[in-house]
């Protein structure tokens, strides 16, 4: 599905077979805002070559993508056990591998999915998704993902991968995914116990947050608080919550670890306050 803004003054959904729709859209786009929601391993599939023209759009224009990467399907198509058994040249197996290569935009997945060294399924998936996200980020700079699973110790059903040209998209997705994921994990972990109704955020750790903030301020002194947060998120996606970040900055300023030269009426900082390290 894709939605474009500008053709008729509002968002226009375009529904249907991605293999038929996506090739026709780039020629119709000028300065339109484009949002693509894709399921590459779904019934019709979607090769990387179909989304590449959108990734290559002028960064002046807004292009956003959300991509569902279904891990059980990917494992089946990668056929690691068949490869270990020496069956990689069978027609059906080769067809599966060709589909994965076309979907992920290269055969880099093979060295990960067929790696014979001791590695958990989760580690293998993390490496693969990280490589895929890096490929997307080579076109549009703000990309990352969120795993979706039933509970903390269950298999990953799929990853929600996003890619955007703008840091605001990453910040918004960070908080949305952080809340959704950790709320679900809290419910699964504490359902039926005395802690079931506790606020999920009370259980979250902020370990390392102060150091992450200080590191970004030292790298680029004078950044606004809002921009420091964008950099913290980019390097620590889904690890921290924005309200915890703001509290940490206030505390670091109060403790004289950081300071700001921006006038503000109260002791509380705002997003426009520029930050420096003492």
Nearest to 274 by CA among 220, 235, 210: 220
Whether 11 is covered by a domain: the verdict is yes
Nearest to 110 by CA among 92, 131, 137, 140: 131
Nearest to 54 by CA among 142, 164, 169: 164
Whether 54 is covered by a domain: the verdict is yes
Q: Give the alpha-carbon dihedral of 106, 109, 111, 117, to 10 degrees.
A: 180
Looking at residue 97, its pLDDT comes to: 96
Quote the CA–CA distance of 199 and 189 in Å, as a whole number. 13
Looking at residue 78, its pLDDT comes to: 95
Phi and psi torsions of 57, nearest 5°? -60, 155
Whether 73 is covered by a domain: the verdict is yes
What angle is formed at CA 10 by the lines to CA 5 and CA 12, rounded to 5 degrees?
A: 65
Whether 265 is covered by a domain: the verdict is no
And the tokens for 48?
Answer: 């990387």
Query: DSSP string of 18-51?
Result: HHHHGGGSGGG-SS-EEEEEE-TTSSS---HHHH
Whether 275 is covered by a domain: the verdict is no
| pLDDT per residue of the chain (278 residues) written in tens, 0 to 9 | 444 444 455 777 777 788 888 899 888 888 888 999 998 888 778 899 999 999 999 888 999 999 999 999 999 999 999 999 999 999 999 999 999 999 999 999 999 999 998 989 999 999 999 999 999 999 999 999 999 888 778 889 999 999 999 999 999 999 999 888 888 877 877 677 766 777 766 777 899 999 999 999 999 999 999 999 999 999 999 999 999 999 999 999 999 999 999 887 777 799 999 999 98
107: domain range? 2-165
Q: pTM for this structure?
A: 0.85
Number of domains in the chain: 1
Whether 249 is covered by a domain: the verdict is no
Whether 238 is covered by a domain: the verdict is no
> CA-CA distances (angstroms) from residue 277 to 32, 200, 211, 214, 269?
41, 32, 12, 7, 15
Whether 277 is covered by a domain: the verdict is no
**For 242, which DSSP code?**
H
């Amino acid at each position: 599905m894709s939605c474009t803004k500008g053709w008729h003054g509002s968002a226009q959904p375009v529904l249907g077979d991605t293999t038929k729709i996506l090739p026709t859209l780039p020629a119709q786009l000028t300065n339109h805002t484009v949002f693509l929601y894709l399921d590459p391993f779904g019934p019709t599939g979607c090769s990387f070559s179909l989304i590449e023209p959108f990734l290559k759009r002028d960064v002046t224009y807004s292009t956003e993508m959300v991509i569902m990467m279904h891990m059980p399907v990917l494992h089946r198509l990668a056929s690691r056990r068949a490869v270990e058994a020496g069956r990689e040249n069978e027609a059906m197996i080769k067809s599966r591998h060709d589909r994965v290569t076309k979907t992920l935009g290269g055969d880099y997945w093979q060295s990960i999915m067929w790696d014979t060294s001791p590695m958990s399924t989760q580690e293998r998936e993390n490496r693969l998704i990280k490589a895929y996200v890096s490929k997307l980020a080579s076109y549009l700079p703000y990309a990352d993902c969120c795993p979706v699973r039933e509970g903390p110790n269950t298999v990953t059903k799929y990853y929600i991968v996003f890619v955007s040209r703008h840091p605001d998209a990453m910040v918004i997705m960070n908080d949305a995914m952080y809340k959704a994921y950790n709320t679900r994990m809290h419910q699964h972990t504490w359902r039926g116990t005395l802690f079931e109704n506790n606020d999920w955020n009370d259980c979250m750790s902020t370990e390392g947050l102060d150091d992450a903030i200080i590191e970004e301020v030292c790298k680029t002194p004078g950044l606004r608080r809002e921009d420091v947060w964008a950099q913290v998120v980019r390097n620590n996606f889904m690890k921290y919550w924005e309200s915890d970040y703001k509290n940490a900055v206030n505390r670091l300023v109060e403790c004289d670890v950081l300071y700001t030269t921006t006038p503000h009426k109260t002791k509380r900082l705002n997003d426009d306050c520029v930050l420096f390290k003492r």
